[in-house]
Amino acid sequence: MSALVIAAVLVAGAVGAVIRYLLSRAYPVRPGHLPGGILVVNVVGSGIAGAVIGLAERAAVSDDLRLVLVTGFCGGLTTFSTWCVETIELADGGRWRAAILNVLVTLALGIGAALGLYLLVR
């Protein structure tokens, strides 16, 4: 792993984090709606990761680029901590249906996007 690749991974992760931050501000958790920005970035990031892992398997994407895109960009774009904490905050606030929906929809769409695109492109 060269210094340039490490730097590229870190910058890609930081750019992903800023996109997630801006989307989470634009589409916060609201009653009666799907849990917004975090759901979108988690599903989109999982899908990109699945696709890039699949492309890397047939050498359409180099190992370095895979590291930058998957570990860097997708890792920074998606988040596990906010997903869990927001779910518990919804449940603590008595909004059990929204909490359960947040878990199930993220899991279903995340697995669907990652596994689906992985199988499609590899």
Partner 1 sequence: MPPSLAVFVGGLLGTGLRLALDTVLPHADDGFPWSTFIANLLGTFVLGWLAGGLWTRPSTPPWLKAGIGSGLIGSFTTLSAVMGAVAILDREEATALAALYLGVSLVAGLALAAAGLKVGSSLAHRPMPTEVTDDGATL
What are the binding residues for Na(+)?
Answer: 75, 78
Contact criterion met (CB below 8 Å) for 105 and 46:
no
* 13, amino acid identity: G
Contact criterion met (CB below 8 Å) for 16 and 45:
yes
Instruction: Give the nearest distance from C-beta 30 to partner 1 in angstroms.
Output: 18
* 86, amino acid identity: E
Name which of 33 and 88 has its Cβ closer to partner 1. Answer: 88
Instruction: Give the nearest distance from C-beta 102 to partner 1 in angstroms.
Output: 11
17 binds partner 1 per the rule CB under 8 A: yes
Residues whose CB is less than 8 angstroms from the CB of residue 43 and which lie 6 or more positions away in sequence, other chains included: 106, 109, 110, 113
| Helix segments in 1-122, DSSP class H | 3-26, 36-57, 63-66, 75-77, 81-92, 96-121
121 binds partner 1 per the rule CB under 8 A: no
- Can you tell me which of 35, 40, 83, 98 binds partner 1, judged by CB under 8 A? 83
Q: What Rg value do the Cα atoms of the chain yield, rounded?
A: 16
72 binds partner 1 per the rule CB under 8 A: yes
Query: Footprint of partner 1 on this chain (CB under 8 A)?
Result: 1, 6, 9-18, 20-22, 24, 42, 45-46, 48-50, 53-54, 70-72, 74-85, 87-89, 92, 103, 106-107, 110-111, 113-115, 118-119
